[in-house]
Amino acid sequence: MSAKLEGVRVLDISRVLSGPYCSMALADLGAEVIKVEPPEGDETRTWPPFYPCGESGYYQALNRNKKGIVLNMKHPQGKDVLLELAQKSDVMIENFTPGVVTRLGIDYESVKKVNPKIIYCSISGFGQTGPYRKKKAYDPVIQALGGGMSVTGFRGGPPAKIGIPVGDLGGSFIALSSILASLYTRERQGIGDYIDTAMLDGHVFMLSVMAAQYFADGKAPERWGLEHPWRVPSKTYRTKDGYITCTATSGNQYPLFCKVLGLEELIDDPRFKTNALRVKNREQFYPIVEKVMVTKTSEAWETRFIEAGLPSGIVKNLDQVFNDPQILDRGMLQIIDHPTIGKLKMIGVPFKFMNSQPKKMNPPPMLGEHTDEILHGILGYNDAKISRMRQEKVVA
């Protein structure tokens, strides 16, 4: 049994988060990912948080299981090397400002000439078309322009940024699915493709049910903080020692919720008998519940909710997350050896199959770690040629 994407080679000239996260997922799935970095390295190598040895945690989080080559693509020879590598690759990923790859002579049209079957994926803030196409973007820009920020935060308060970089990650996931779909098509029809991924499209796609209110009645949704807009009770509550969330909105869940809280009188209260009534009367409902929730610890409530079969969860910080028995049981914390960091903690691989093996996890490459291996092994360059290119600062 081999890894799902064994035999697929990905040429990854992307950096920061959206591209590297996508190519890391492909690497986790078994693809051979060649990360191309400029002589100064992916800029995130200098971004905090730092390990005591000076390595960037940001970079480590996004680049495991890849091979690294340093290649100056602005040098004419560097461009040629890139095109040679593209010729021997199945997928290419870039996430520069639209126009950069054309300037460098490594855009889809140029690569297609040497490899007509390439699957070439561009990730940008807004896509290669439209009035914003030339705008640069990072996660908060996308969360702002895509509407996510407008529906996050407390009622009456300012908008809030979602703590996880969903603006970037939306682009990564759309790129990942598009690449996998294109690999399948290429398998059947023998044709490559150009994928134009926009982080903004990914974010708007994620609005999903939040867009429903606007589509249904033309009103932009408000911010609901820790409450669900259309389901009551569905809220995160303050407890004696923290916070816990519980959703109990269906017909049989609501009475159970009331019983767990010792609020049986609410079951048949005419103000709260149906979800629609509870949504309408939420201002009366929640204060009653909140008064009870603060009387016990989160753990005590969690035990009771589990016994009642209700969907609930204690709000955990990341220390608690990475010590959680379920997360550990699923292998979502991995510890691997890194040449300078030592024991390196990594988020585990979420892709799990019965009929294929996960790949052994390797640490992210040191800058230029596999330059020689790639030039020798994939392009067949000899030592003299590589050392000449090194002297001319084409590779490093």
Least spacing, CB of residue 180 vs ligand COA, in Å: 19
Is there binding between residue 379 and ligand COA (CB under 6 A)? Answer: no
Alpha helices in the chain (DSSP H): 18-28, 57-60, 76-87, 100-104, 108-114, 139-145, 166-189, 199-207, 210-217, 253-260, 275-280, 282-293, 298-308, 318-321, 325-329, 371-377, 383-391
Compute φ and ψ for 343, nearest 5 degrees. -80, 120
Q: Which lies closer to ligand COA via its Cβ, residue 46 or residue 357? A: 46
Choose the binding region for ligand COA from 11-19, 185-193, 262-270, 318-326 (rule: CB under 6 A): 11-19
Closer to ligand COA by CB, 142 or 246: give it.
Answer: 142
Q: Is the dihedral of CA 48, 53, 57, 58 positive or negative?
A: positive
User: Would you give the DSSP letter of residue 230?
Assistant: S
> Measured in whole angstroms, how far is the alpha carbon of residue 284 from the centre of its chain?
39
Closest CA to 88 of 118, 58, 47, 65: 118
Q: Which residues pair with 67 in a beta bridge?
A: 34
- Does 60 bind ligand COA (CB under 6 A)? Our answer is no
Binding mask 134-173 for ligand COA (x = CB under 6 A): --xxx-----------------------------x-----
* 168 catalytic residue (yes or no): yes
To ligand COA, the closest distance from the beta carbon of 187 in angstroms equals 28
Which CB sits closer to ligand COA, 60 or 236? 60
How many angstroms separate the Cα of 348 from the Cα of each of 19, 177, 227, 309?
A: 19, 20, 30, 28
| C-beta atoms surrounding 33 within 10 Å | 29
- Residues 109-138, mask of contacts with ligand COA (x by CB under 6 A): --------------xxx----------xxx
Query: Minimum distance between the CB of residue 138 and ligand COA, rounded to whole angstroms?
Result: 5
Q: Does 95 bind ligand COA (CB under 6 A)?
A: yes
Residue type, 337: D
Minimum distance from CB of 165 to ligand COA (Å)? 7
- Of 168, 201, 241, 324, the catalytic one is 168
12 binds ligand COA (CB under 6 A): no
Q: Which of 38, 159, 221, 358 binds ligand COA (CB under 6 A)?
A: 38
Q: Select 18 or 60, whichever has its Cβ closest to ligand COA.
A: 18
For ligand COA, which is the closer residue by CB, 63 or 239? 63
State in angstroms the smallest separation of the CB of 364 from ligand COA. 16
Q: Tokens for 172, please give them.
A: 């990564």
Amino acid code (one letter) for 265: E
- Of residues 191-210, those binding ligand COA (CB under 6 A): none
Q: Using the rule CB under 6 A, which residue among 4, 8, 81, 96 binds ligand COA?
A: 96
Select from 97, 128, 275, 356 the one that contacts ligand COA (CB under 6 A): 97
Contacts of 186 (CB under 8 A, 6+ apart): 90, 117, 119, 192, 193
Sign of CA dihedral 349, 350, 351, 357: positive
Count of CB atoms situated within 10 Å of the CB of 373: 13
- Residues with a catalytic annotation lie at 168
Give residues in contact with ligand COA (CB under 6 A): 16-18, 36, 38, 71-74, 95-97, 100, 103-104, 123-125, 136-138, 168
